[in-house]
Amino acid sequence: MAQWTSAVGAAQLARQLNAQQARPQGPGTRKPPAYRALADGIRLLVLEGRVPVAARLPAERELAVALAVSRTTVAAAYEALRAEGFLESRRGAGSWTAVPAGNPLPARGLEPLPPESLGSVIDLGCASLPAPEPWLTRAVQGALEELPPYAHTHGDYPAGLPALRQMLADRYTARGIPTMPEQIMVTTGAMGAIDAICHLFAGRGERIAVESPSYANILQLMREAGARLVPVAMAEGLTGWDLPRWRQVLRDAAPRLGYVVADFHNPTGALADEDQRRGLVDAARSAGTVLVVDETMTELFLDADVVMPRPVCAFDPSGSTVLTVGSASKAFWAGMRIGWVRAAPDVIRSLVAARAYADLGTPVLEQLAVTWLMSTGGWEEAVEIRRTQARDNRDALVAAVRRELPDWEFDVPSGGLTLWVRTGGLSGSRLAEMGERVGVRVPSGPRFGVDGAFEGYVRLPFTVGGPVADEAAVRLAAAARLVESGATSGTEAPRTFVA
């Protein structure tokens, strides 16, 4: 049985390699032998996630024709990659990309730091902001006033409080997506929603297509559920999905589910346009793949000129192909563990029935708080506070990183909460390790990939601003110097920062 889960065509790989060679080289750079340059180019594409791990590469003859080089050059490059652990082969099955044994692989996402550590460590691990007061306090007070009638019941509402389901349905309808309350299930955060979907649709061993990179905690959730993840590389920059790749993966791998973040993608910040949304839904429908669309960032547009495309579910009115997941965590507060799923009524009924063996339901008080926010206009005012915080933090962090680390590369997204940063050739895993020593906590790129990709990246969220953003960049620069020096032992005491 072949070990590859997707394939890369010769013409596609040649385009990627040629684009890579077009990047400026440093002064005095010596030109390596042709086979070595080809092997290094493919290895870098794998480590950056541009070519997924477990992707079948073209046959030697096909790639030689596409690159206009000799077959001997390609054969030597493939042999070098096999020797280094970046390629595996089997007679009759071809060759597919791999990551060497011992390469740092992520085990889990980053858990938030305990509050008592925040005085000495700047936490850039968690893409969440403090609550937008006074709206949290007002929402809880409003919820307490509405609580007494519910206290006289058993308190279990597996599909969610009827009032909140109606409110969420009305909000989708207002966005141009007619929705009934029967199409909504309230969950314990977006993670609870996606966990329920994975257990219903994708049993152990099923394939799930995921963007590469993607949200670290969701990737880990799917791994622990026993899924086989099939990575699909994002398009360059902030341009969203690479539709030809998605079509190929959906056709060749036939995944049961596909997980995507269309709005201000985590971690890249990309915003998929309407043509991409329509095209992906059509491709998924043709392949029999159910799309799980994460909308947790959809309200966090930060620039005045952003024109939001229609939701992905607009291209699947019946809700049979697209399952939409939303949450209060990013737009309002991570401590408000309220999420939801929008889908066809029969899908919702199946999810609700399966929930009896999981968490039974979502806390009533938090549901009442979100209902109060959405029914009083408080939600819109709170989200506007959140946008202002995120915009100011983004601008401060961008300026600070550009000043302290001018070799690091990134595109500035027009929304969301994260920067996806190429670290000038430094190991993201080593930067994360050294960052802990100098008092800044940052997640490395491999946490957001499948099987060790994105070693040359880190994710920086817009969670700090002003002088704290400046200090975070100073500490990141100190971590970078430690990595460049090859430091392996000893510690530099973290400085206490007082905002």
Which tokens in the block code for residue 486? 């090859």
Contact 73, 80 (CB under 8 A): no
How many CB atoms are closer than 10 A to CB 495?
14
Which candidate, 187, 189, 9, 213, places its Cα nearest to that of 94? 9
Q: Within the chain, what is the greatest distance between any pair of CA atoms?
A: 79
pLDDT, position 106: 42
Which tokens in the block code for residue 153? 């019941």
Residues contacting residue 150 through CB under 8 Å, at least 6 positions apart = 161, 364, 368
Q: What is the DSSP letter of 358?
A: T
Contact 478, 439 (CB under 8 A): no
Alpha-carbon span 398 to 389, nearest angstrom: 14
- CA-to-CA separations, 434 to 113, 125, 412, 427, in angstroms, rounded: 17, 14, 25, 11
Alpha-carbon span 115 to 49, nearest angstrom: 34
Length of the chain: 499
Alpha-carbon span 9 to 247, nearest angstrom: 13
pLDDT, position 111: 60
Alpha-carbon span 476 to 396, nearest angstrom: 15
Which tokens in the block code for residue 385? 């506070």
How many CB atoms are closer than 10 A to CB 188?
18
Alpha-carbon span 226 to 452, nearest angstrom: 18
What residues pair up with 291 in beta bridges, in sequence order? 258, 322
Q: Could you please report the per-residue DSSP string of 286-351?
A: HHTPEEEEE-TTTT-B-STT--PPPPGGGG-TTSSSEEEEEESTTTT-TTS--EEEE--HHHHHHH
For residue 9, which amino acid is it?
G
The single residue listed with the structure tokens 């400085």 is 495
Q: Count Cβ atoms within 10 A of the Cβ of residue 174 and give its class: 0-12 exposed, 13-18 middle, 19 or more buried.
A: exposed
How many CB atoms are closer than 10 A to CB 485?
9
Q: Roughly what angle, to the nearest 10 degrees, separates helices 60-67 and 10-21?
A: 50
User: To the nearest 5 percent, what fractions of the chain are helix, strand and coil?
Assistant: 45, 15, 40
Radius of gyration of the chain (CA): 23
Q: Count Cβ atoms within 10 A of the Cβ of residue 75 and give its class: 0-12 exposed, 13-18 middle, 19 or more buried.
A: middle
Tens place of pLDDT per residue across the chain (499 aa): 346 667 888 888 888 788 666 544 544 456 778 888 898 888 878 876 778 777 889 898 999 999 999 999 999 999 989 988 888 888 877 888 887 765 444 433 456 666 555 567 899 988 889 999 999 999 999 999 999 999 999 888 999 999 999 999 999 999 999 999 999 999 999 999 999 999 999 888 899 999 999 999 999 899 888 899 999 999 988 899 999 999 999 998 999 999 999 999 999 999 999 999 999 999 999 999 999 999 999 999 999 999 999 999 999 987 889 999 999 999 999 999 999 999 999 999 999 998 877 777 899 999 999 999 999 999 999 999 999 999 999 999 999 999 999 999 999 999 999 999 999 989 888 898 899 889 999 999 988 988 767 888 999 999 999 999 999 999 999 999 999 987 654 444 333 332 2
Alpha-carbon span 12 to 8, nearest angstrom: 7
What residues pair up with 96 in beta bridges, in sequence order? 56, 88
Contact 176, 310 (CB under 8 A): yes
Q: What are phi and psi of 224, to 5 degrees?
A: -70, -20
Residues contacting residue 466 through CB under 8 Å, at least 6 positions apart = 392, 396, 499
Which tokens in the block code for residue 274? 């309407």
Which candidate, 74, 82, 87, places its Cα nearest to that of 36? 74
Q: What is the DSSP letter of 332?
A: T
